[in-house]
Chains A and B, each alone.
Chain A
Amino acid sequence: MNMSKVVFGFFVLLALTLNFGFFIGEIDNPDHHNVYELFAALVVGLIATVMKLGERSQMSAMLLASSLVVDLHLIAAALVWAIAVHMTDAGLTPAVMATIVSLSGGALLANLLSVVLLTMETAGYSR
């Protein structure tokens, strides 16, 4: 067993699960979506991106690209949240919440692709 592969797989998978945890629930209900979960998903997503840097195979290029998409989506979601709550008087209205959650839904897709790619790579490796 390769410890670095375990750590790598752990972060990629954790990014997906946290993302999913935030995404699940009614799309416009703020009570169903915890802001700490979004924070955790973003931090783990960033770490997963860093872990993928510097690999030169075609597969890792794809992994890195999907990871960057995740970061982009989640940072956008966090920005929408910060602007809505702190910079305007709007607060977390259902419309704002729906925007945030749908952005995280995009990130979820990219995270899912990461895990699929990683699984494919692992499956090919053992053959």
Chain B
Amino acid sequence: MNSPVPGDAHMALFFRRMRAPLVVLITAYAIATFGFTLMPGEDDQGNPWRLSLFEAFYVVSYTGSTIGFGEVPYPFSPAQRLWTIVSIYLTVVAWLFSIGTIISLLQDPAFIHSRRRSRFRRAVAGLSQPFYLVCGYGDTGRLLTRALSEQGHAVVVIDHNADKIDALSVETPASPVPHIRADARRPDNLELAGLRSRWCLGVMAVTGDDSANLKIAVSAKLLNQRCTVYARADEYRVADNMRSFNTDHVVNPVEEYVRRMRLAIKQPAAFRLYHWLQSGPDARPPASRRPPRGRWILCGYGRLGCAMHAMLVDLGLEVTVIEENTDLPGLPTGTVQGRGTGADSLSAAGVETAVGILATTRDDVDNLSILITARDLNPDLYLGVLENGLSSHELFRAAEPDLIAQPSTTIAGSILARIASPLFASFIEQLLAQPDATSDELVERLIEISGPQPPELMTVRISEKRAPALARLLAEDVPVSLDALLRRSPGGPPREAVETLLLRRGDREILLPGAETELTMGDRLLLAGRSGCSRRLRGLLENDNRLARALTGQDLHQGWLWTRLFGRPRITS
């Protein structure tokens, strides 16, 4: 009949549990007070005297709280002392009962859980800025959370593993990260985490479980059409399923490695750029060594090994497979039985005459061991290795392979690049269609600009809202070229170390637009520069005075009076 009022469930639970102790407490006080007024006593003159209700309540109050002022206003008669004894035990026991109930309630798991949920709900509701919802706080989730909060985005984390959530609560992220231990597969938990909020920009389904990721992606798409959904899928079947209901970006690590390896062989410079920009905030530009053509050795024929084999064969390369389990279906003929960790199986596969080796077993220690043994036998090998977990990352770096395939950095990097700019995907597509020399030049320029850490990507939109100062100039028909905006003088040193990667004008896209390109309203630019450059550049686009000084070298008269007296100066660049 009555609909429950939404509110703090834990407060309702608290009061329901406190009902009995409070009733006992009130009753004990009432009995003790009432009893005192009945006990016969004498005043200092020896006249019969009894405590009034007010005085009785006073005595009970200080006795019940064990303060004890003594017998006031007159010394008690034996009958009153007898009642004092009764009331002391009555009230003290009632207090013990109440306090005991409160303490046991505070330790009650149901109460703690309900309180955490309310606090989390409040924290999410209190977010008044766009946020991302990260489901699953493994290596990938942690990388994403760290990178996004360093970029100033709010992040909400949900994971069903208590240890991972505890680890998050002791970390100190740059911006607020409300987190909760809950099963992200349940839509009500996603809703609790703010999926339906108007501030929810995107959902990242990056748990280690394919079916959970699928469920999260479906729920997110159904419950909030406006948010962008990024999902991880290890199996091709699941990835196809996700794409079928318009998941915005699906990362399949195996597919991604194969794509990168193919690029490394066919377009090494494009591969360097692709890998560098899409491997998270700690990525370093990969060495410029090109994977040689010749005979390759592939250790492990699991999901990745199988896909790599197909790709290498497709490129017309000769491949020898080393696999421990020779019963696997689809093993190519000529497979060497072994783990690849020992010199015997590597020699049997002909490591001395091979040009490269890919260690793709599911065991990180095996992969490292394959790497080191193979290098001992043939120092010129191109070494590619799969790193399954992030925990032994230092070892892998120390081993210095030519290529590390790491699931978490690959997934997080791929997602982060797309978050940084919606133009990124088409930029990569356009770049891969170009000859490799273009990429080679670009990657060297970017390394010059930002050093070994990946450049910051940003999108600039020339519109009234995003670039008001520039929009006002363009409305006055002042031509502004890229060069004028980004350089101190024509052909001079750059104002800001920034490279323009892509210009989208209507349906047209221009890759690496020239410096003389003139900007028009509605243009979108994809820029890459040193970290922090987007903030400085935004100031230039929004502030009339700064823009005028940048374009003409002169200060602009500001304010109503100046404009009235001298008129609005025309800027010509």
Q: Which residues of A contact B (CB under 8 A)?
A: 35-36, 39, 43, 46-47, 50-51, 53-61, 81-82, 85-86, 121, 124-125
Contact indicator B19/A43 (Cβ below 8 Å): no
Contact A124-B26, Cβ < 8 Å, known A53-B15, A53-B19, A85-B52:
no
Chain A's closest residue to B27 (CB) is A47
With an 8 A cutoff between CB atoms, is B316 at the interface?
A: no
Q: How many residues of B contact A (CB 8 A)?
A: 27
Interface of chain A: mostly helix, strand, loop or mixed? helix
Instruction: Enumerate chain A residues within 8 angstroms of B55, measured Cβ to Cβ.
Output: 86
Interchain Cβ contacts under 8 Å between A and B, 6 examples: A39-B33, A50-B19, A58-B5, A60-B2, A81-B54, A124-B1
Q: How many whole Å from B388's CB to the nearest CB in chain A? A: 49
A51 surroundings in chain B (CB, below 8 A): 19, 23
Residues of B within 8 A of A (CB): 1-5, 7, 11-19, 22-23, 26-27, 30, 33-34, 37, 52-55
- A residues less than 8 Å from B12 (CB atoms): 54-56
Closest to A86 in B: B54
- A58 closest partner in B (C-beta): B2
- Give complex CA distance A57, B54 in Å: 37
Contact B13 A54 (CB under 8 A): yes
Q: Are A50 and B2 in contact (CB under 8 A)?
A: no
A85 contacts B23, CB within 8 Å? no
* Residues of chain B with a CB closer than 8 A to A55's CB: 12, 16
Partner of A56, one of B5, B17, B37: B5
Asked if B54 and A43 sit within 8 Å, CB to CB, the answer is no
CB distance from B342 to the nearest CB of A (A): 68
Closest to B20 in A: A50
| Contacting residues, chain A, for B5 (C-beta < 8 A) | 56-58, 61
| Interface contact A35-B53, CB-CB below 8 Å | yes
Task: Establish whether residues B53 and A58, one from each chain, have CB atoms under 8 Å apart when the complex forms.
Answer: no
Instruction: Give Cα A80 to B4, complex, Å.
Output: 39
A46 contacts across to B, CB distance below 8 A: 26
CB distance from B340 to the nearest CB of A (A): 64
Q: Which B residues lie within 8 Å of A85 (CB)?
A: 52, 54
- The answer to whether B52 and A50 have CB atoms under 8 Å apart is no
Contacts of B26 in A (CB 8 A): 43, 46-47, 50
Give 9 nearest A-B pairs by CB, closest first.
A57-B2, A54-B15, A54-B16, A53-B15, A43-B30, A82-B54, A50-B22, A56-B4, A54-B12
Point out the residues of chain B lying under 8 angstroms from A121, CB to CB: 1-2
Residue of A nearest to B17 (CB): A54
Give the complex CA separation of A35 and B57 in angstroms: 13
Kindly state the separation between the CA atoms of A61 and B4 in the bound complex, as whole angstroms. Answer: 10
Inter-subunit contact A36/B53 (CB<8 Å): yes
Chain B residues, CB < 8 A from A36 = 34, 37, 53
Please indicate the chain A residues that have their CB under 8 angstroms from the CB of B52 in the complex.
85-86
- Taken together as a complex, chains A and B put the C-alpha atoms of A40 and B52 apart, in Å, by 14
Nearest CB of chain B from residue A1's CB, rounded to whole Å: 19
A50: chain B residues at CB < 8 Å are 18-19, 22-23, 26
Give the distance in Å from the alpha carbon of A54 to the alpha carbon of B20 in the complex. Answer: 12
The one of B11, B13, B14, B53 that contacts A39, using a Cβ cutoff of 8 Å: B53
**Assembly CA distance A124 to B17 (angstroms):** 27
With a CB–CB cut-off of 8 A, which chain B residues contact A54?
11-19
Interfacial chain B residues near A59, Cβ < 8 Å:
2
Given contacts A36-B37, A46-B26, A85-B52, 6 further A-B contacts (CB under 8 A): A36-B53, A39-B30, A54-B19, A56-B7, A60-B2, A125-B1
Nearest Cβ in chain B — how far from A38, in angstroms? 9
Q: Which residues of the other chain, A, contact B27 by a CB distance below 8 angstroms?
A: 43, 47
B16 surroundings in chain A (CB, below 8 A) = 53-55
The residue of chain A having its C-beta at the shortest distance from the C-beta of B29 within the complex is A43
**Of all chain B residues, which has the CB nearest A82?**
B54
Given A58-B2, A60-B2, A85-B54: A39 in contact with B34 (beta carbons within 8 A): yes
CA gap between A56 and B33 in the complex, in Å: 33
- CB neighbours (8 Å) of A124 from chain B are 1
Give complex CA distance A46, B23 in Å: 8
Residues of A within 8 A of B34 (CB): 36, 39
Name the residue on A nearest B37 (C-beta).
Answer: A36
Chain A residues within 8 Å of B11, by CB = 54
Which of chain A's residues have a CB closer than 8 A to the CB of B2?
57-60, 121
* Docked complex Cα distance between A121 and B1 (Å): 9
B37 proximity list for chain A (CB < 8 A): 36
Q: Which of B13, B19, B33, B55 has the most CB of A within 10 A?
A: B19
How long is the Cα–Cα vector from A47 to B21 in the complex, in angstroms? 11
Residues of B within 8 A of A58 (CB): 2-3, 5
Task: Give the complex CA separation of A124 and B19 in angstroms.
Answer: 25
Q: How far is the CA of A51 from the CA of B24 in the complex (A)?
A: 11
Residue in chain B with minimal CB distance to A7: B23
Separation in Å of the A77 CB from the closest CB of chain B? 12
In the complex, how many angstroms separate the beta carbon of A107 from the nearest chain B beta carbon?
17
- Centre residue among B1, B3, B13 by max chain A CB count within 10 A: B1
Residues in A whose Cβ lies below 8 Å from that of B3:
57-58
| Bound complex: CA A39 to CA B4 (Å) | 35
Contacts of B13 in A (CB 8 A): 54
Q: Give the residues in chain A near B14, CB-CB below 8 Å.
A: 54
Closest Cβ–Cβ distance, residue A68 to chain B (whole Å)? 13
CA A99 – CA B33 in complex, angstroms?
Answer: 24
Closest residue on chain B to residue A38 by CB atoms:
B53
Partner of A47, one of B17, B23, B33: B23
Complex alpha-carbon distance, A58 and B7, angstroms: 12
